[in-house]
Amino acid sequence: MKKIAFIGTGGTIASLGTGPLDIVHYGANKTMLQAGDILAAVPQVQEVAEVIAVPFANIPSPSIGFSEWKALSRLCSELVETHEDLAGIVIGHGTATLEETAYALGLTLKVAIPVVVVGSQRPLSGLASDAAMNLVNAVRVAADPQSVGRGVLVLLNDEIHPAREVTKTATYRLQTFRVPDFGMIGYVDGETVSYYRRTERLTAPNTEFDIASIEALPRVDIAYAYSGADGADVNAFVAAGAQGIVSAGFAPGMAPPGQMAALEAAAKSGVTVMQATRAGSGVVHDSARLTALGFVPSDNLNPQKARILLALALTRTKDRAELMRIFKTY
């Protein structure tokens, strides 16, 4: 059997409510299981692979950010160094920021084995919880030789998604994780793992970013466009020391006049401004307007993922052409 490491970070997949019907307010129970206890609660995973528990943290995913990404990256490398026969890694994670952690790891991990990020929409204790099946399927994906070379993957609801493109689209539905423009890359049906496409963008471990050498990411904020936005948010971000601002603009990529004026002023002051869209899908292309303003187009990354890549990119360059290259590469 393949050896798989399971890293527990907390989240719904680790949570226990007050009873089987507590599938909404379970967070108030403030009870999360460590990685070993989760594996003990789902003994079927040991029928799929030899799964070893790796405790990390027990926190809601809104509390996870750069320091945890860096620690997870280091932990993954240590696991590969310690266990020469390790075939894959599964990371249990809350769904709120799961897509951001998966993408950050997809840009920074330096391990060649599959890494699968998994969560659940219902707590482990809930009636008809998806936690156990998601965990079993994540282990199946991590152990499957077909998963090698595909970067960081996300598994929920029997569906395999690439970290770059997947996003959470519903608050409670089990089919919440979706890739709006291109769809999933594969399924897990029982013992069968099936892939149907690959992502074309460069991903871990073959990236130019070395998270181990970064002490902190540059501050990058997101300015959300809405009718009547006057730019107060942008001005506050600049005052707080933002080195980059992602404009989550109206489709296909524009802000209302007041916010746009503030973004233009920010760009003139040396802040890197990236134009994304709040639409949820589609591409922000380079244009004569963006070129004249010095703004950088986000390609098809959603604002929260554009923020991560921009922050990493700003540790290397502020040159617009080089930033555009990076966004076309990753």
Q: Pseudo-torsion of CA 77, 46, 91, 121, nearest 10°?
A: 180
Strand-pairing partners, residue 91, are 7, 117
Look at residue 80 in the predicted model and tell me its pLDDT.
98
Catalytic residue list contains 12 = yes
pLDDT per residue over 39-85, tens digit each?
Answer: 999 999 999 999 999 999 999 999 999 999 999 999 999 999 999 99
pLDDT per residue over 119-136, tens digit each?
Answer: 999 999 999 999 999 999
Look at residue 94 in the predicted model and tell me its pLDDT.
98
Tell me if domain 3-195 and domain 218-329 are identical in fold: yes
- Is residue 7 within 8 Å of 91, Cβ to Cβ? yes
Q: Cα separation of 182 and 167, whole Å? A: 12
The domain segmentation of the chain, as residue ranges, is 3-195, 218-329
Distance of CA 252 to the CA centre of its chain: 23
Look at residue 330 in the predicted model and tell me its pLDDT.
98
Q: Which of 12, 97, 101, 176 is the catalytic position? A: 12
The enclosing H or E element of 324 equals: helix 320-329
Q: What sign results for the dihedral spanned by CA atoms 58, 67, 63, 308?
A: negative
The model carries a pTM of 0.96
Look at residue 138 in the predicted model and tell me its pLDDT.
98
Q: Residue 97: what residue type?
A: T
Distances (CA, A) of 193 to 42, 93, 186, 280: 20, 21, 7, 28
Q: Cα separation of 276 and 307, whole Å? A: 10
Look at residue 210 in the predicted model and tell me its pLDDT.
94
Q: Pseudo-torsion of CA 104, 140, 114, 171, nearest 10°?
A: -10
The enclosing H or E element of 243 equals: none
- The CATH code belonging to domain 218-329 is 3.40.50.40
pLDDT in tens, the chain (330 residues): 999 999 999 999 999 999 999 999 999 999 999 999 999 999 999 999 999 999 999 999 999 999 999 999 999 999 999 999 999 999 999 999 999 999 999 999 999 999 999 999 999 999 999 999 999 999 999 999 999 999 999 999 999 999 999 999 999 999 999 999 999 999 999 999 999 999 999 999 999 999 999 999 999 999 999 999 999 999 999 999 999 999 999 999 999 999 999 999 999 999 999 999 999 999 999 999 999 999 999 999 999 999 999 999 999 999 999 999 999 999
H helices of 144-286, in order, are: 232-239, 257-268
Look at residue 203 in the predicted model and tell me its pLDDT.
96
User: Quick one: fold of 3-195?
Assistant: Rossmann fold (3.40.50)
